[in-house]
Structure 1
Amino acid sequence: MFSWTGLLFVLCTLTPALCCDWLRHYGHVSNSSLTLVQLMGGQMTEEESPVSFPNKLYKHIQKAEVESQLVFIRDSLELILGLYRHDNLSSATWDTDKTEHFLLCIHRQIDGLNSCVSTNKQANYKLKKYYKRLEKSTLYRTGGSAASWELIRKETEVHLERLALLVAPIAATLHHQH
């Protein structure tokens, strides 16, 4: 006799990421972080980033297994958070409370994703390299100027939007399972 509970148990054993209850909350927390990054400063800059967006990495990870996608999302958020730990955030003219809430929201997403995937799996080398180039080309080159922080905020917004698109089908699969 076929058992849905048995099937769910097998799926959860083989792919624990698909059974991570925290992913049900990801959309809400992700929307909050996206809203906060938009509201913590003024109008987004129109200036182009000196580092091209890693579209190939996103396209490649879309075809990967769920756990790899979740590791990519978690590691992207960790690397984004790392950008904001730069020494000279003082030149950014952002709302302090909204900025703090934004950083806490990103941290909450990372913690939640850590409950879904192995913390031993590490970020893609090319992903780390992209964020290092972004940091060097903006914050280090200008000494952490207000304009460079605005570029970081703009790039953060784009990444948060793409990460939300990446997690949406995973969360939809979870929603249909229960």
Structure 2
Amino acid sequence: MASPKLIALLCAGSQMGSTGGGTNRAVLSRSELAGLLSGASEAAMDFAYAAYALDLDAERMLIARVRVAAANLANAQKWEIVKGRPTVSNLSAIAVFEVVRPLVHKECGGVGCRLCGMTGTKLLSVRTIAAAAGLSKDDFHRNWQDRYRQILKIVCELDAEVQGVLARADSGRREAL
């Protein structure tokens, strides 16, 4: 996710200061984000609104977009799926939550340490992901772990798009100074 410090630099004087989801992430309004992220795709905008404005409607839209992309991936790769089980749908929502609302690393309280790679966050465990998706740990390892990583990659690519747009906005701002 883009650094809250970078966002703070880009929008000095905004409505920042509150936090959400138990993290130290900055909270921005939709209009502030729209100005910063002009030129980003609709999916990346949904990602940014969900992550930085804590917009639940955008989060639901992002989950829907990731579900569609994951279903297309499943069809293209011919994943064997049990009809009536929402495994792909559940894994899509979990991937969005893992990136948009990351868990705070308890040892450092979210400020970053060597144990968490200086991110201040903690990844979901295999057991947690499997249980949330309605799978056994063994079934997840055997059939779904690599697929989950592919779904997670979809969300991470949206995060990277947002970071890229923010970096371009930051470099343009610095050039203007």
TM-score, structure 2 normalization: 0.32
Give the helix-richer structure, 1 or 2: 1
Q: Which has the higher contact order (CA 8 A, sep 6+)?
A: 1
